[in-house]
Amino acid sequence: MKVRASIHKDFAISEIDDRLYSAFIEHMGRAIYSGIYEPGHPTANADGFRTDVLDLVRALKIPAIRYPGGNFVSAYNWEDGIGPKETRPVRLDLAWRSKETNQVGINEFAGWAKDAGIEMMLALNLGSRGIDDARNFVEYCNHPSGTHWSDLRRSHGVEQPYDVKMWCLGNELDGPWQIGHKEAKEYGRLADETSKAVKAFGKGIETIVCGSSNDAMPTYPDWERQVLEECYDSVDYISLHKYFGNSSHDTLNFFGKIEETGRYIQSIAGAIDFVKARKRSKKDIYICFDEWNVWYHRREQDSKNWRSWDWPEAPELLEEDYNLEDALFVGGLLNEFIRRSDRVKIACIAQLVNVIAPIRAERGGKAWATSIYYPYQFASLYGRGTALRVSVDAPTYNCQAADDVSYLDAAGVLSKSGDMVTLFVLNRHLSEAAELAVDLTGFGDARLAEHFVIGGEGGDIRAANTSDNPERIKPRAGSGVGVEDGKRLRGSLPPLSYHVLRLALT
Ligand code: AHR
């Protein structure tokens, strides 16, 4: 198939917020316990955190991490996780029917995040609790000293406040499964008042109000409108969540869910604009896509298990073995985030370790990168700067998820220093190579500096990185693509392949 494309330095979409490449981790399954934290593991540091996992995390250069939930947060008492570890209560986690030992709480997690070089984005419990608990937690984290909660923090050995800037106003409160599920207006009022209380702690604090749990919720998108009508003036972002699957093994439809996500983003943007207009407001609210990932391989099996199990501690839950198809999908989805970086400012891969995660860690054993680790890493490393429009002229297909889906999916980013353009390209055709020609005349002279590829070698698209074969899917150096006269990128991209093409500008 022949594909023509063009990209020009003057056709910018938006500055990309670095936090587009953030992550999420929850007290759930083995994400925290035996994921990032496992005292006694051969690689554990003095604080009990696994350094093999930490190394994999650091290599992703994650800007921010949402913590501690998720559904977990909606019945969580943050005070259970502070003070001497031996006196912390063991509680039942109602969200995942598990036992929570509270051996990791805010101070341990903050230490880990600092070591990993990641900023914290903390979620407040607006399910079983409310404003009073929220303001106490913010005081514990952010106030310097001289008050009950700040001095308690100092007595726990943390002299300096964490100065956390991002606060999530609960989690998925539109969902009937959520502890403390609410009606839209009721939640919007609570979010408004909580946001005002949180922001009273000082300048620079941003709050994120809960949008719909997904675009199949019966209350979507009216939830967004009603919630924003209550709290538009006091919040900064509205959250979106979406998980993806391919149980029917229809690869093209799976890949069409990238476009479906574009529609979802556009609809939320529409709800924001509607409320903004109704309020005659000058203020903008942006999107925080704070849970996204592929989640289906073990979904059915897991949901049967956890609903009936007997409150285990750190059980195996949602431990997906991601395959090549998932990696290609994640590459394309991140392209969509780059293309919509005008509205989506923060996005969090859900989750980070063991639970629907780019990193897996065996209890007492090894850690490895799943297939989706790599496109996420490429986007995080090379997707910072200015998103540029890439116009693509390629054959298209229709599927259940979307119509007119281009077989070639592309995003382009001009680096912050202005001397590098990165093209992220997915050929989602099942059998044909893309004979690609990209017009680069808008950049002066360009040279192909680096080319990485995932897939495109034929074979089984459902081959996964597993404990036995942890490196089956990984990137390799690309070939068959070059720049002619500094002005035209040409090459052949095999079917079912994802490419990172880094162009040095002179
Ligand atoms: O990430 C797993 C769960 O998915 C989260 O706890 C919840 O917010 C969402 O439904």
149 and 238 together in one domain: yes
Residue where a domain stops, chosen among 347, 382, 417: 382
Gyration radius of the chain over CA positions: 23
- Tell me the per-residue pLDDT of 353-411, one tens digit each, with 9 for 90 and over: 999 999 999 999 999 999 999 999 999 999 999 999 999 999 999 999 999 999 999 99
Crossing angle for the helix pair 184-199 and 131-142, to the nearest 10 degrees? 30
- Tell me the per-residue pLDDT of 420-455, one tens digit each, with 9 for 90 and over: 999 999 999 999 999 999 999 999 899 999 999 999
pLDDT, position 365: 98
Is residue 172 flagged as an active site residue?
yes
Indicate which residue of 100, 119, 291, 336 is catalytic.
Answer: 291
376 and 405 together in one domain: no
| Banded pLDDT at 308 (limits 50, 70, 90) | confident
Residue where a domain stops, chosen among 382, 409, 442: 382
Say if residue 160's pLDDT is above 90.
yes
User: Nearest-CA neighbor of 167 among 83, 288, 337, 27?
Assistant: 288
The percent of residues above 90 in pLDDT, for the chain, comes to 97
260 and 400 together in one domain: no
- Spacing, Cα 400 to ligand 1 middle (Å): 25
Say if residue 336's pLDDT is above 90.
yes
Domain that holds residue 374: 17-382
CA dist 447 → 273, 379, 443 (Å): 41, 20, 11
pLDDT, position 461: 96
| Banded pLDDT at 157 (limits 50, 70, 90) | very high
End-to-end Cα, the chain, rounded Å: 31
pLDDT, position 268: 98
Nearest CA to ligand 1 atom 3: 70
Residue where a domain stops, chosen among 365, 382, 399: 382
- Spacing, Cα 296 to ligand 1 middle (Å): 13
Task: Identify the CATH number of the domain in which residue 161 sits.
Answer: 3.20.20.80
| Banded pLDDT at 304 (limits 50, 70, 90) | confident
Give the binding-site residues of ligand 1, using a 6 Å CB cut-off.
26, 69-71, 171-172, 213, 291, 350-351
pLDDT, position 306: 84
Task: Identify the CATH number of the domain in which residue 436 sits.
Answer: 2.60.40.1180
Beta strands 497-505 and 446-455: pairing type? antiparallel
pLDDT, position 95: 95
| Banded pLDDT at 300 (limits 50, 70, 90) | confident
- Spacing, Cα 306 to ligand 1 middle (Å): 14
444 and 373 together in one domain: no
Cβ neighbours of 173 (radius 10 Å): 26
The mean pLDDT of the chain is 97
305 and 223 together in one domain: yes
Is residue 224 flagged as an active site residue?
no
Pairwise CA distance, residues 132 & 142, whole Å: 15
- Tell me the per-residue pLDDT of 203-256, one tens digit each, with 9 for 90 and over: 999 999 999 999 999 999 999 999 999 999 999 999 999 999 999 999 999 999
- Spacing, Cα 71 to ligand 1 middle (Å): 6
Indicate which residue of 38, 172, 224, 260 is catalytic.
Answer: 172
Nearest CA to ligand 1 atom 9: 70
Pairwise CA distance, residues 428 & 451, whole Å: 18
Q: How many domains does the chain have?
A: 2
Say if residue 118's pLDDT is above 90.
yes
27 and 145 together in one domain: yes
Say if residue 307's pLDDT is above 90.
no
342 and 448 together in one domain: no
338 and 441 together in one domain: no
Lowest mean pLDDT among 11-25, 252-266, 290-304, 340-354: 290-304
Nearest CA to ligand 1 atom 8: 70
- Tell me the per-residue pLDDT of 27-42, one tens digit each, with 9 for 90 and over: 999 999 999 999 999 9
157 and 70 together in one domain: yes
369 and 479 together in one domain: no
pLDDT, position 305: 84
365 and 397 together in one domain: no
178 and 306 together in one domain: yes
Residues 326-334: what's their mean pLDDT? 98
| Banded pLDDT at 22 (limits 50, 70, 90) | very high
